[in-house]
Amino acid sequence: MGYQWFDDTPLWRVTILSVAVMAASCAANPGVDPTPPPDNPLGDECEGGTPSNEPDLMGWKAGQRASLSMLRRQGVVAVRYQAQGCDVELEVLPNCIGEGSYGFSPYVANESKLARNEAELRAKLPIGAAELGGHLKEGWSLRTDYRLAGMVSLPIGKRYSRDDLTGLDCDRATHVVARIYLGGFAIVVGESQSVAAAATIFGAGLSAGHLAESERLASEGDAEGCLAAQKEAQESPLCSVPLRVGLLPLGSPIDHQAAGPDPKTGLVPLAVIDPHGCNQDTQVWDGTRCVTVKEKPITCPEGHTLDDRTQECRRCEKNVLMRGCP
């Protein structure tokens, strides 16, 4: 089975379970809705489903979250995002970086997810589901609670290709990270009814011992620090764990025989790359989409070059130094 690359448009979105009131014995502790979702978004064999380009990271390895947190302060982060069957993998490429910086914006959300079996786990936390699934057993569920207090993002409209990235790992890159949601979280696995009924598993003073037959798998960030960051609408080191990313696919590859960008528009003329359905009289392909230009790009015939001053094609002459001529 080959690898499947993700496009811009996800075919399903992870369903976030709302907080619900449990039975009378649990009425004082509103927990997570225990009703299973009607469908498995990935299908029984995980065939044909495409995970979101905004995956959650709570099930990711802690080292990968730490690497993302460090690299986003150095430039634009490049990643490799791929799926094979039920396995979804996201890998930070530490030796590949792009020019640019992320700007902070306040973002407040308190969310929870509950998975009762491996199928639900793959649907709700596809990244890391294979490893987390080993903790599930008969009658047990996995739950994660998290607080989001901000988001860092690249400027709207910016696009990247591999040519915009620098480093030894860039040939493996499939996406750049366009935005990162910051916060804190905890993951607990344990007896299903107890886990679902808990008011929260990410809060001051709560430990796994408060839940019957439970085990805390991960906890990063400070719950009280996240509450303060949400109120102050400022980035806080106590609540800056990467919990979700927005991924931007790299631009479509240019044909190896293609000429360089058009000197007038800075864009790649449609004629030198694979067809993408652009109107050849009014549009050019900028690597990711058709872009309308005021004039059709000038393409000079072989043995000629474009004069930047007059925007006319001139014949290359021997012993005359002309840019664009051999």
User: What are 67-96's pLDDT values in tens digits?
Assistant: 999 999 999 999 999 887 778 899 999 999
pTM over 0.85: no
Rounded Cα–Cα distance for residues 179 and 187 (Å): 23
Q: What tens digit of pLDDT does each residue of 220-262 get?
A: 999 999 999 999 999 999 999 999 999 999 873 322 233 344 4
* Both tokens assigned to 130: 């294979």
Please, which residues have CB within 8 angstroms of residue 179's CB and are 6 or more apart in sequence?
Answer: 102, 151, 152, 153, 154, 245, 246
E strands in 100-223: 103-115, 140-153, 165-166, 175-191, 214-220
| Residue 14 CB-density burial (10 A; 0-12 exposed, 13-18 middle, 19+ buried) | middle
Q: How confident is the model at residue 203 (pLDDT cuts 50, 70, 90)?
A: confident
Q: Which residue has the higher pLDDT, 181 or 38?
A: 181
321 contact partners, CB below 8 Å, separation of at least 6: none
pLDDT attached to residue 23 = 34
Q: Are 195 and 115 in contact (CB under 8 A)?
A: no
> Distance between CA atoms of 95 and 164, rounded to whole angstroms?
14
Task: Please tell me the predicted confidence (pLDDT) of residue 2.
Answer: 42
Question: Which residues share a beta bridge with 19?
Answer: 32
